[in-house]
Structure 1
Amino acid sequence: MLREDKLRKLRDKMALAGLNAVIIPSTDPHSSEYVHEHWKSRAWFSGFNGSAGTLVVTENMSGLWTDFRYYIEASNVLKECEIELYRDGLEETPSILDFLKSNLKKGDTLGFDGTLFSTSDFEKYNLELKKFDISIDNSFDPVEGLWEDRPEAPMSKAFDLPVRFSGESREDKILRVRNKMKGVGANTYIVSSLADIAWLLNIRGEDVRFTPLIVSYLIVDLNNVNLFIKNEKLPKKLKVELEKAGITINNYDVIGDYIIKLKKDSVIYYMPESLNCFLSTLINQDIKVIRGVDLVTDLKAIKNKTEIDNIRSAMEKDGAALVKFFKEFEHRIKDEEFTEYTLAPLLREKRLGMEGCVDESFSPIIGYHSNGALCHYSADEKSAKLIKRDGLLLIDSGGQYYEGTTDITRTISLGNATVEEILHYTLVLKGHIKLSMAKFPEGTTGAQLDILAREPLWEHGLNFGHGTGHGVGYFLGVHEGPQNISPKGFKAPIKEGMITSNEPGLYIEGKHGIRIENLVLTKFDSDGLYQKFLGFETLTLYPYDLELIDSELLSIKEIEWINNYHKEVKTRLSKYLTADENTWLEDKTREI
């Protein structure tokens, strides 16, 4: 079905339901960032497949809101289409709420699927639109009856993550959560986040591509734990283990009935940004509700000793996989043709060839020349560029290992690097190093650290539009809260034990894109005059491109840092490599 036909049929359906506008988000019933194909309704209607974006359709207009990472890609997808692109984050771009207030009139009705709309968003829209006498119908499923070949909901099997990987039993984790519940005065905790459930119960699955999650809900009270999951998804052995830990298994579809029947003396805790409004509106209004950040979030973000030791091992394997990949690519491109699309399978092959690697942690971003400037570019077979032996190639990729989750970006020169490319690469690298070497007092937030990565670019009138760093899970999501390093990252401090990305970049539309990314572990550094000071241990192990570094722009301290890092890369990866691979790596890590 053509995009225009989909929108026409949607408007017919809206008219029958008495709706004047609908919102189609990118998420699933658990407010996930990355979702199974079953819930990709926004992509089905709009043709835009980026992970972030919201489609709004009125009786005579439609618009797609997405962030900086997808401005160029979304613009290309929406060419010659009625859907207007709204670049979220720009001062001149109206919010979806402002757009609706301007384009709906008194007595109109907005519709959406309440299972895909967070409680916090629902309340925000409801509060504002009521002022304009605009009502909301949160029971409207826009794809029902239209998306005929819609994929079935995911049905992968859950599997156990042993304590040798998780570092803590599910029983001990549940005890810690109950202590936090008591601390906030709650006796019932509704957990909607798939990553939080996976971490708490030490289970993983394959319901979401690249992220080892299992679709489920969890309700923890002071005496019982109830897991809501499709029965077929639990192998018998795992079910026995969960029941041994005091966990009662319920069918996924009865979560709503369970919430309706919660006793009036319950004191319920949930995160309104995570729990969908369909479920939250089922809670009896006489029950006391406490809302805040998921209680699991902080526990999950601070990695234990076992997890930290394991992730160091995963980084060695991941770095070795990249050496094997880049060495083979460098050799084969002399005689073979590669496109951005056909290069990806070679990268996957090398990574999955390492012991303990289960999958990639996201679809690799491979951008050659001007496509590197598309921040979260996704190459397809038809439009992918042919990679030639000149210009810059940006590759952002990662792996899911039992020992942890990796995420690395390297930009390399394929030959004939220009003065501008070398300058831009070196400035990005300088910011990357400044952040790597940071020492900061306990309680510092990502917003306070962010300037370190941007300062070298700012000095040349340059900047990048995305955050500098995001949290990373342990054999979970490649994006994890609560911390981030960005101008807006002021809510959560960077704590000891957190793993965060360090990824400044620069994107010159029509020319090139540069990003350099390592994962860093926050560690104790020293006892300061009044408080503890923290710093970063760089976890990722793969060399920078020496051909793109202008050493004249680097300080002595920065040069020493690069040389020491390259020495560590060479030492720790050598045991995974052949003699030829070690010789290749020796050249790539030579001293500046």
Structure 2
Amino acid sequence: MQKVGIDAFLIPRADAHRGESVPASEARLAYVTGFTGSAGMAVIGRDKAGLFVDSRYTLQAPSQTDTDIVTVHEVGQGGVSPEIRLYVPKGGKLAYDPWLHTPGEIRDLNEKLSGHAEAVPHANLVDAIWADRPAPPVSVIEFLGHNRAGQSAADKIEAVRETLANDMAEAVVLTLPESICWLFNMRGRDVPNTPFVLGFAIVPATGLPTLFLDAAKITPELSAALADIATVAEAATLTDALAALGKSGKSVLIDPQTAPAAIAETLRQTGAKLIEKRDPVLGPKSRKNEAELAGMREAHKLDGAALAKFLSWFDAEAPKGELTEIGIVTALESFRREEESCIDASFDTISGAGPNGAIVHYRVTTKTDRKLNPGEIMLVDSGAQYLSGTTDITRTLSTGSATAEQKDRYTRVLKGMIAISTARFPAGTTGAQLDILARQFLWQDGVTYNHGTGHGVGAFLGVHEGPIGISPRTTTPLETGNILSNEPGYYKAGEYGIRIENLVTVHEAADHPGFLEFETITLAPIDTRLIDLDLLTAAERDWLNAYHSRVWSEIGPLVSGAVKDWLQHATAAI
């Protein structure tokens, strides 16, 4: 910073593709600070440094970084904290890598620094000092057959072109790996947890799209597979391709919330007309077709069998008082890995024993690993990537007698989950309008939870995907084929956490034209030992019994022996 005349430098968790997982070569925030959470930002000043994280990481961040050198700040999710000004002197320069921040973020940054300091783009200073930086990932790229994709890449590209025509755009620049992978029906292993191929794409209104990949990924086989769909080019040529669009005066669509600021600036400086709109692939991708839905249902049957084995094992081992959070994660993963088509976890498992369950996005480490004491509540939020689809499930588990308060809170959470599961709503309804259905029973007793009720889920893609969700902030209407999580919760700091999560898909309501409803696709028992039966209505009992009857009928044939006996007991009617 001294050599180049900069007073502070921003280090975000994100890479140029905005994924929840980043490859080792892009883990700059972890390299500099030691913090490995999935969201956060550091600012390194001349004589002090700050690390900004949200409430998910208020325990993890201080335990991983040197707090004698780095001050940890808790901030809300989204946006730049005004406290960033503390690390830049009046009239100073705060530098950032324009490939790691979006135009929207830079506008926000400039607002926060207004009248105090200047934000300036710069080559990445972390890369300049990272002598042993890992090489970029190069993984095998596979292409999905029609039985898995359900729609050809050519048809998907044509649909994107229709959107471009409506937006008066002559091209779109795609930067999100989930959009690119879905559009070209391809998958890879470039990052943990998610079958992504990292790259960029330009889709013109006419002519073949261009897919920009690391040179090491471009093989004759890849080029042949894409021959009729796209031209393949080295990622290093992307800037020249953007400049060519600009010099031709093209109208180019970018998503200001996800595209790197470097892309927007290159287009703007070379003469392109920028059209800032949401990534046009996000909407179609969220509306799963029949092949994708069939794959997701298959994945949840496979996951249901693994979970039956795990939950049976857990019930046998928990009373012994020897289980640890890491041991529970390891066991769950081993049961899932028995299925050959399971290739990875879909995110790092949240394994919270007792008070750790109250940390909403807790990530166990060797430093925080805690033994589960008999009688404590155990919260396990996990998922897997199967070749057929993506899963995400949370179960709160009893290990002994629960208090009246714990049963009350658990039952109110369950009632909220059932309310979403059984909701019927007119087409055009948003997740924000449905969110209260899940919270109402907790609100009646003066409590709530500080996270969304549900998020979109990809089909053998990201376990979190936009633009849909169920939360006060989600205003995109739900549509047929959407898959979402349904996960209300309750958290008592320092004592316990409760969350129950199933995945649901949206379909047309039978006999009710113009209305939609949910189908639950997760297939695993919900612990009935924590229910206060007096709080359930007859209709809620009927739903739970019907759900458990379905779990038994679909998962029962997939397991045997002691596991099958356990499953039959766990799914018995109440």
Shorter-chain TM-score: what band? over 0.9
**Which position in structure 1 is the counterpart of 2:214?**
230
Counterpart position of 1:48: 35
1:119 is matched with which residue: 89, 94, 103? Answer: 103
- Find the aligned partners of 2:83 and 2:363 in 1 and give their Cα distance: 29
Q: 1:417 aligns with which of 388, 393, 402?
A: 402
Q: Is the 8 A contact 1:64 1:85 kept in 2?
A: yes
Aligned partner of 1:153 among 127, 132, 136: 136
1:508–1:128 distance in 2 versus 1, CA, 3 Å: closer
Question: In the TM superposition, what are the counterparts of 1:304-383 in structure 2 within 5 Å?
Answer: 304-333=289-318, 337-383=322-368
Aligned position for 1:466? 451
Counterpart position of 1:260: 243
In the TM superposition, what are the counterparts of 1:143-292 in structure 2 within 5 Å?
143-221=126-204, 222-243=206-227, 245-262=228-245, 263-283=247-267, 284-292=269-277
CA distance in 2, matches of 1:179, 1:563: 46
Match of 1:587 among 564, 569, 573: 569
Q: C-alpha deviations, 1:110-155, integer Å up to 9, x for none?
A: 11111111122123334664x4263222114131243333322211
Output the amino acid matched with 1:495. Answer: E
Deviation per CA, 1:193-214, whole angstroms, max 9, x where unpaired? Answer: 0110000001111111010001
Change (3 A) 1:585 1:350: same
Equivalent-residue separation in structure 2 for 1:541 and 1:231 (angstroms): 42
Q: Distance in 2 between matches of 1:205 and 1:95?
A: 31
2:49, 2:87 within 8 Å by CA — same for their partners in 1?
no
**Which residue does 2:391 correspond to in 1?**
406
2:559 is aligned, of 577, 585, 591, to: 577
Contact 1:504 1:517 in 2 (8 A): yes
Q: How does 1:73-152 map to 2 (within 5 A)?
A: 73-77=60-64, 80-89=67-76, 96=80, 98-101=82-85, 104=88, 106-126=90-110, 129=113, 131-132=114-115, 134-152=117-135
- The 2-side partners of 1:302 and 1:180 are apart by 15
CA contact (8 A) 2:218 2:232 kept: no
8 Å contact from structure 2 (residues 43, 87) kept in 1: no
Contact in 1 for aligned 2:376/2:400 (Cα 8 Å): yes
Query: Do 1:70 and 1:375's aligned partners in 2 also have CA atoms closer than 8 Å?
Result: no
Give the counterpart letter for 2:43 in structure 1: V
- Letter of the 2:197 counterpart: I
Q: Name the counterpart of 2:518.
A: 536
Which deviates further from its counterpart, 215-224 or 149-158?
Answer: 149-158
Which segment drifts farther, 414-423 or 227-236? 227-236
What's the secondary structure of 1:497's corresponding residue?
coil
Q: Deviations over 1:79-121 (max 9, x none)?
A: 843433333239xxx9635224566455311111111111221
- Report the more deviating stretch, 16-25 or 538-547: 16-25
Residue 550 of structure 2 corresponds to 568
* Secondary structure of the corresponding residue to residue 485 of structure 2: strand
Q: Is the 8 A contact 1:264 1:287 kept in 2?
A: yes
**C-alpha deviation, 1:285, in angstroms:** 4.5
Distance between the aligned counterparts of 1:247 and 1:74, measured in 2? Answer: 43
Alignment correspondent of 1:9: none
- Give how far 1:232 is off: 2.6
Is residue 107–residue 133 contact of structure 1 (8 Å, CA) maintained in 2?
yes
Q: Please report how far the alpha carbon of residue 190 of structure 1 lies from its aligned counterpart in structure 2 after TM superposition.
A: 0.6
Paired AA for residue 150 in structure 2: G
Aligned to 2:487: 503
Give the whole-Å Cα distance in 2 for the aligned partners of 1:148 and 1:285.
Answer: 34
TM-score for both structures, normalised by structure 1: 0.92
Paired residues for 1:412-561 under 5 Å? 412-490=397-475, 492-526=476-510, 532-561=514-543
Distance 1:231 1:416, change over 3 A: same
Q: CA deviation at 1:70?
A: 2.4
1:388 aligns with 2:373: yes
Q: 1:480 is aligned with what amino acid?
A: E
Identify if the C-alpha distance between structure 1 residues 128 and 71 changes in structure 2 by more than 3 Å, giving closer, same or farther: closer
SS at structure 1 position matched to 2:226: helix
Aligned residue type for 2:175? S
Shift of 1:383: 3.0
| Stretch moving more, 358-367 or 331-340 | 331-340
Tell me the C-alpha RMSD between the 2 structures.
Answer: 2.1
Q: Tell me: CA distance 1:163–1:81, structure 2 relative to 1, closer, same or farther (3 Å).
A: farther
- After superposition, what is the alpha-carbon deviation per residue over 1:342-395, rounded to whole angstroms, capped at 9, x for unaligned? 222221121122242221111111111111111111112343112233211111
Letter in 1 for 2:463: V
Contact 1:158 1:234 in 2 (8 A): no
* Amino acid of the structure 2 residue aligned with 1:292: K
Equivalent in the alignment of 1:5: none
Is the partner of 2:334 in helix, strand or coil? helix
Contact 1:68 1:466 in 2 (8 A): no
Question: Which one-letter code corresponds to 2:82 in the other structure?
Answer: D
Q: CA deviation at 1:44?
A: 2.4
Unaligned runs of 5+ in 2: none
Find the counterpart in structure 2 of residue 24 from structure 1.
11
Map residues 10-21 of structure 1 onto 2, 5 A cutoff: 14-21=1-8
TM-score (norm: length of structure 2): 0.95
**Higher mean C-alpha displacement, 328-337 vs 14-23:** 328-337
Structure 1 CA distance, aligned partners of 2:178 and 2:280? 12
Identity %: 37
Quote how far apart the aligned CAs of 1:59 are. Answer: 3.4
In 2 relative to 1, CA 215–567 (structure 1 residues): closer, same or farther, beyond 3 Å? same
Helix, strand or coil: the match of 1:590? coil
Report Cα offsets for 1:420-449 as digits up to 9, x if no partner: 221221111111111111111111111111
Q: Any conservation in 1 of the 2:357–2:496 contact (CA below 8 Å)?
A: yes
Could you tell me which residue of structure 2 aligns to residue 6 of structure 1?
Answer: none
What do residues 524-548 of structure 1 show as CA deviations (whole Å, max 9, x unaligned)?
11576xx711111111111111110
Q: Counterpart of 2:25?
A: 38
Q: Mean alpha-carbon deviation: is it higher for 260-269 or for 215-224?
A: 260-269
CA separation of 1:399 and 1:429: change in aligned 2, threshold 3 A = same
My pick for the range that moved more, 308-317 or 14-23, is 14-23
Q: Which deviates further from its counterpart, 504-513 or 99-108?
A: 99-108
